[in-house]
């Protein structure tokens, strides 16, 4: 039996993606520190991206804009343009697809490629990586770093831990070399290990990736179940998962929306306004996809993530629905049942247990069907004239967020 060919998998990562897009669009800022953040006019929000020059002043992603301005008063602050970032990301995908059909977006600025079948056409992995890097820079102005290995998890760590730090931005790390390279690294640097998990591992006496890899699997399983085995496999570079171009084309299991609030919301009068707006967003998305759901979930969190407050709960409704009032009624009942009265800064609503709305038999004489027809009419108006063409009166309240969100994609400005 012929030996199976070793896979060649790459992880391409865009450096400071949002900031790089803006620097490409504004050559006049090429030699100036630049960040993409919230709302520059209000000098508020958090840093979504910082160029390398801005980072040299100590500015970090996710810190408050005010803190960044204190570190570097002359930093250029640009409001995010999510539609443009999505366009550039899709352009980069199209470039990668000229080298292989096996391209899997991992996030807006990271993509996996399997170029195993492309070596005869384009050359060695390093030659392909340099060609990709050159084309992306030429066509988009974005500098990318590329990790190369024979598994997805190792190519990801090759990129994050090595390619981002070496001249040229390309690093090859075969899985057979994991023991002499990755195993020496701090466990906090391993893919899928956040600060909280790192603290748990420290308490177990595990401080390096190698120590995690050599921990008896049974011990990790006893502590974290299947997630313990996932960590053990990553530490050893074991990953048979293929690069799947259709990763995000799978059957939808749920429709949800979450909102980070501009301030602490402390009263039910304020909270119910945004809860209704979220129910409306979720219900409209369900109608757009011709879906209904019979499980409504609601969640919230406070501002202090070191001492998290809040909850996440769900309930089954009597019949599948995509009617705003029904989703809101369930979400409101859940919220009032479980809310401890503490201020909240983030809130979410989702609809699961999805079925095609064509599977549900409704009568025109049923009040629910009349509500659906009314909401379809408002959906048509919004599609034609914009989200703010027709709104509920409650969305004119000071606590409402619908008007502000109409200018955003994924919570960030278009």
CATH number at residue 231: 1.10.150.20
Residue 50 inside a domain? The answer is: yes
Q: Taking the mean position of all CA atoms in its chain, how far away is CA 155? A: 20
Say if residues 414 and 81 touch (Cβ distance below 8 Å). Answer: yes
Contact 284, 392 (CB under 8 A): no
Which of these, 40, 79, 173, lies nearest to 409 by C-alpha position?
79
Domains: count for the chain = 3
Tens-place pLDDT, residues 53-100 = 999 999 998 888 889 999 999 999 999 988 899 999 999 999 999 999
User: Which residue numbers are catalytic?
Assistant: 110
Which tens digit of pLDDT belongs to each residue from 247-303?
A: 544 456 788 888 888 888 999 999 999 999 999 999 999 988 889 999 999 999 887
Query: Is 109 marked as a binding-site residue?
Result: yes
Shared domain check, 105 and 187? no
Q: Which domain holds residue 165?
A: 1-173
Q: Does the pTM exceed 0.85?
A: no
Helix (H, G, I), strand (E, B) or coil at 199: helix
E strand map for 141-210: 144-149, 170-172
Stretch among 110-119, 253-262, 399-408 having the lowest mean pLDDT: 399-408
In DSSP terms, 354 is beta-bridged to: 293
Q: 407 and 324 in one domain?
A: yes
pLDDT tens digits along 167-216: 999 999 998 999 999 999 999 999 999 888 999 999 999 999 999 999 99
* Cα separation values, 299 from 174, 258, 337, Å: 42, 9, 12
279 domain residue, yes or no: yes
Query: CA end-to-end span of the chain, whole Å?
Result: 54
Q: Minimal CA–CA distance to 352: which of 296, 289, 287? A: 296
Residue 86 lies in a domain: yes
Task: Check if the beta carbon of residue 275 is closer than 8 Å to that of residue 331.
Answer: yes
- 359 annotated ligand binder: no
| CATH number for the domain that contains residue 294 | 3.30.1490.100
Tokens of residue 318, six digits: 């009597």
Q: Which residue, 173, 199, 218, sits at the end of a domain?
A: 173
Asked if residue 393 lies in contact with residue 402, where contact means CB atoms within 8 angstroms, the answer is no
């Amino acid at each position: 039996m012929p030996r199976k060919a070793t896979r060649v998998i790459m992880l391409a990562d865009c450096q400071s993606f949002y900031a790089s897009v803006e620097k490409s669009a504004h050559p006049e800022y090429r030699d100036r520190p630049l960040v993409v953040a919230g709302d520059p006019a209000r000098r508020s929000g958090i840093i979504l991206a910082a160029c390398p020059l801005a980072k040299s002043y100590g500015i970090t992603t996710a810190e408050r804009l005010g803190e960044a301005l204190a570190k570097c008063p002359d930093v250029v602050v640009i409001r995010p343009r999510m539609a443009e970032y999505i366009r550039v990301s899709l352009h980069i995908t199209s470039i990668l697809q000229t080298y292989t059909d096996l391209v899997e977006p991992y996030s807006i600025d990271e993509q996996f490629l399997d170029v195993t079948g492309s070596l005869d056409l384009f050359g060695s992995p390093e030659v392909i990586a340099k060609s990709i890097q050159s084309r992306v820079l030429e066509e988009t102005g974005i500098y990318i770093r590329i990790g190369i290995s024979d598994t997805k998890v190792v190519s990801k760590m090759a990129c994050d831990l090595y390619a981002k730090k070496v001249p040229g931005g390309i690093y090859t790390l075969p899985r057979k070399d994991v023991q002499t390279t990755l195993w020496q690294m701090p466990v906090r640097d391993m893919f899928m290990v956040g600060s909280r998990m790192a603290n748990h591992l420290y308490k177990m006496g595990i401080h390096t990736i190698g120590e995690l890899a050599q921990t008896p699997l049974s011990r990790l399983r006893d502590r974290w179940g299947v997630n313990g085995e996932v960590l053990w496999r990553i530490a050893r570079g074991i990953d048979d998962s293929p690069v799947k171009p259709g990763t995000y084309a799978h059957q939808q299991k749920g429709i949800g929306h979450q909102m980070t609030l501009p301030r602490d919301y402390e009263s039910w009068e304020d909270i119910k306004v945004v809860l209704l707006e979220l129910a409306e967003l979720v219900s409209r998305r369900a109608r757009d996809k011709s879906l209904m759901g019979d499980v409504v979930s609601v969640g919230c969190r406070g501002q202090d993530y070191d001492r998290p407050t809040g909850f996440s709960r769900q309930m089954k409704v009597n019949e599948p629905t995509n009617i705003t009032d029904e989703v809101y009624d369930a979400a409101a009942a859940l919220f009032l049942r479980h809310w401890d009265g503490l201020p909240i800064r983030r809130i979410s609503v989702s609809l699961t247990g999805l079925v095609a709305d064509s599977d549900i038999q409704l009568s025109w004489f049923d009040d629910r069907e009349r509500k659906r027809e009314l909401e379809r009419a408002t959906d048509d108006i919004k599609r034609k004239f914009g989200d703010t063409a027709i709104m509920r009166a409650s969305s004119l309240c000071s606590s409402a967020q619908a008007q502000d969100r109409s200018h955003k994609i994924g919570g960030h400005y278009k």
